Amino acid sequence: MSISPELLLRLEMQDLQDRYMAAIDEDRLEDWPKLFVEDCLYEIIPKENEDAGFPAPVMYCDSAGMLRDRVISLRNANIYAQPHYRHFTSGLTCRMEDGEVVMTSSYVVINTHTDGSSFVYQAGSYKDRVVKTAEGWRFKAKRVVYDTLRVQTLLAYPI
C-alpha cells in the first residue's frame, strides 16, 4: 500500500528525533551539532518563563558553531560529572509552514546518578523547526521548554 505524505513526514520527523536522542544517550555528543543547520537556534527555557512571554533561557546557542564549542568544552572540562541520560519523546505533532516543519513533542529525561539509581530528571516539550537540506532533515530551531523547575544538577549537557 502507499503511504500518505502526512504519515511519511511523521516517520521522517520521528527518525530525526531518534537520531537526536541517540546521539546524546549513546555518548556520541559530536554527532549532536550535525543535526542542526549552521544558522540555528538551540535554547533551554523554563515553561514558567515561556508561558509568561518572558524569555530568559538557561542555555542559548544561535549557531552550530556554538553547539560544537559546547561539546568540546564538555569533553575537556572536568568540572561536570557526565550524566547518563536516556531521552524519551511522545505526542509528536508536525505540520508544514512556509516550507519548514513545525514540530512539537513531549520529552522526559531519565538520569542515572553516580550512586547508581535512576530517576526522572526533567520533563517538558520540544518546540522545533526543521528544514530539508541536501544531507536530509535538520533542526533550524530546537526550543527545549521544561516543566521541571527543580532541576537537581547544572544544565550543562544538552537536553
Closest CA to 142 of 46, 24, 61: 61
Question: Which residues in the 107-136 window bind a second copy by CB under 8 A?
Answer: 107-108, 110, 112, 115-125
Q: Which stretch binds a second copy (CB under 8 A): 35-43, 61-69, 72-80, 89-97?
A: 89-97
User: Does 91 contact a second copy by CB under 8 A?
Assistant: yes
Q: In whole angstroms, what is the distance from residue 87 CA to residue 141 CA?
A: 18
Answer yes or no: are the C-beta atoms of 32 and 23 closer than 8 Å.
yes
String marking each residue 46-85 x if it binds a second copy according to CB under 8 A: -x------------------------------------x-
Distance, in Å, from the CA atom of 67 to the CA atom of 72, rounded to the nearest integer, reads 9
| Nearest alpha carbon to residue 69 among 30, 12, 16 | 30
Residues at the contact surface with a second copy, assessed by CB under 8 A: 1-5, 7-8, 10-12, 15, 18-19, 21-22, 25-26, 47, 84, 86-93, 104-108, 110, 112, 115-125, 147-150
